Structure 1
């Protein structure tokens, strides 16, 4: 799993930071979270490709959605035939549908717009699901958590051989949770040779929000929490007024959630020249790793040990 930050700036883009956009790659699938103005150019610039299957919008402020019409049009120019699913907060479906067709032309491929209810599963695939959770901004807004299923426990090959299980299909059947019978009539149960299930990975993206308990719940034990940090701590009052968070608030929330890594994003243009103070503040508070994300930065999300 790999996350590429396409845009890490706040409402106003700078020469260093584009408006909000994040691409997550998992086993060849590409998922796009938010689509601010210029997102498709960032996708070209950083080599992520356009073959996204789902777009997840946290809210409909311009710095998170104004790149959507252009991206949809480019996909059409590229003769896309596969459906595109766009997920958006409750009550915003018609606005997104109008945004996709703002030029008066609809894409030649199917576009589905689904409303993502907080606390619900937005997307369910074979090995993971994406859940929406409530955030606290100045409009209808949600965050998203990608949560992988537990993986199979480790197969103890050495012990299986000691029990007399021959190498081959019976190994696989045991690992799949089936009981096997040996030629001498001995029955071997899966729990004798397979360890406990191992957790999958969790990546959480907040979009714009004040610190919330629902984010803590969604981000519990997250491998990567991507939390907005629009301001430094000296502007905490401004953050509260505008529905945003400070770097220290994001770090404190990550601690409460037990998140392993914290990526700070949605950086205000007032820090266009130097965002190091946000990173310094977060690192002084965070129990785990904390860093300010940069446009074009890609990070791998390994499985928990």
Structure 2
């Protein structure tokens, strides 16, 4: 699993930071979270490719959605046939539809727009799901997303299986798939004798713009990566409260309560165009020992390993 930060800036872009966009690649599938102005160019610049299957919108402010028309037209000009699903919070469907049809343009590939309430599942795939959770951002319908993989099968103990007399071959696979097997002498070997406990999958949480909320903690216990709004440092904490954003310290406090392994700080205000280190420094001071805190630049890429492979 790979996460690429396509846009890490706030509402006003700078020469270094574009508006909000994050791309998650999992086993060749690409999921895009928010699509600020210029996202398609960022995808070209950082080599992520355009084969996005799902777009998840946190809320309808321009710095999170104005890149959608351009991206859709580029996909269409490139001969796309595959459908695209766009997921957004309650009340977003008519606005997203109007945005897609801006200028009278309609792509030749199918697009579906789904409204999802917080606390539900936006995407239920065979090996993972994308859950929604309520966020708190300046009197607008908003929500965050948690990508949560299913538990994986436990490790197969080949040495133990051979000790029990299981011949090398198809019976190994049946045991690993949870089926008991019978040996030539009538002995039955059960999966729990040779397969370890289920192993957890990976968890990535993306808040979008928000005040610190407990729902972000509950969205996915002990996420491998939490990407949280950190628009301001402590000096501007009151403005963060007024505008529905978080400080770096507040983001770290959410990470601590969630048990996050890594915390990525995004939506950096343009007032930090010269130096955003105060946000990162204050977040690091509030994060628990063992939590990696980082403030990514546009184009920064993070590999998310399985918990048992770190």
User: What interval of TM-score do these two structures reach, taking the shorter chain for normalisation?
Assistant: over 0.9
Does residue 1:113 correspond to 2:116, yes or no?
no
Q: How far apart in 1 are the matches of 2:6 and 2:207?
A: 15
**Structure 2 counterpart SS, 1:249:** helix
TM-score (norm 1): 0.99
Instruction: Tell me which residue corresponds to 2:305.
Output: 302
**Structure 2 counterpart SS, 1:35:** coil
Instruction: Tell me which residue corresponds to 1:291.
Output: 294
Q: How far apart in 1 are the matches of 2:52 and 2:103?
A: 22
Q: How far apart in 1 are the matches of 2:264 and 2:169?
A: 44
Instruction: Tell me which residue corresponds to 1:263.
Output: 264
Q: How far apart in 1 are the matches of 2:59 and 2:78?
A: 27
Alpha-carbon distance, 1:143 to partner = 0.2
Q: How far apart in 1 are the matches of 2:255 and 2:221?
A: 8
Instruction: Tell me which residue corresponds to 1:272.
Output: 273
Instruction: Tell me which residue corresponds to 2:252.
Output: 251
Alpha-carbon distance, 1:235 to partner = 1.2
The Cα offsets for residues 227-270 of structure 1, whole Å up to 9 and x where unpaired, read as: 01000012111101000000000001100000100000000000
Is the CA contact (8 Å cut-off) linking 1:225 and 1:254 kept in structure 2? yes
Q: How far apart in 2 are the matches of 1:34 and 1:263?
A: 16
Alpha-carbon distance, 1:162 to partner = 0.4
- List aligned pairs for 1:138-157, cutoff 5 A: 138=138, 139-157=140-158
Alpha-carbon distance, 1:273 to partner = 0.8
Instruction: Tell me which residue corresponds to 1:242.
Output: 243
- List aligned pairs for 1:15-34, cutoff 5 A: 15-34=15-34
Is the CA contact (8 Å cut-off) linking 2:3 and 2:303 kept in structure 1? yes
Unpaired segments ≥5 residues, structure 2: none
Q: Structure 1 stretches (4+) deviating beyond 6 angstroms?
A: none
Is the CA contact (8 Å cut-off) linking 1:219 and 1:225 kept in structure 2? no
Q: How far apart in 2 are the matches of 1:278 and 1:52?
A: 31
Q: How far apart in 2 are the matches of 1:178 and 1:220?
A: 30
TM-score (norm 2): 0.98
**Structure 2 counterpart SS, 1:278:** helix
Alpha-carbon distance, 1:133 to partner = 0.5
The Cα offsets for residues 145-193 of structure 1, whole Å up to 9 and x where unpaired, read as: 0000000001111111000000110000000000100000000010000
Q: How far apart in 1 are the matches of 2:156 and 2:220?
A: 30
Is the CA contact (8 Å cut-off) linking 1:219 and 1:259 kept in structure 2? no
Instruction: Tell me which residue corresponds to 1:62.
Output: 62
Query: What is the RMSD of the two structures over their aligned residues, measured on CA atoms?
Result: 0.6
**Structure 2 counterpart SS, 1:3:** strand
Is the CA contact (8 Å cut-off) linking 1:57 and 1:65 kept in structure 2? yes
Is the CA contact (8 Å cut-off) linking 1:30 and 1:51 kept in structure 2? yes
Q: How far apart in 1 are the matches of 2:196 and 2:221?
A: 24
**Structure 2 counterpart SS, 1:103:** helix
Q: How far apart in 2 are the matches of 1:7 and 1:88?
A: 19
Alpha-carbon distance, 1:219 to partner = 3.7
Unpaired segments ≥5 residues, structure 1: none
Instruction: Tell me which residue corresponds to 1:80.
Output: 80
Q: How far apart in 1 are the matches of 2:123 and 2:4?
A: 21
Is the CA contact (8 Å cut-off) linking 2:228 and 2:266 kept in structure 1? yes
Instruction: Tell me which residue corresponds to 2:229.
Output: 228
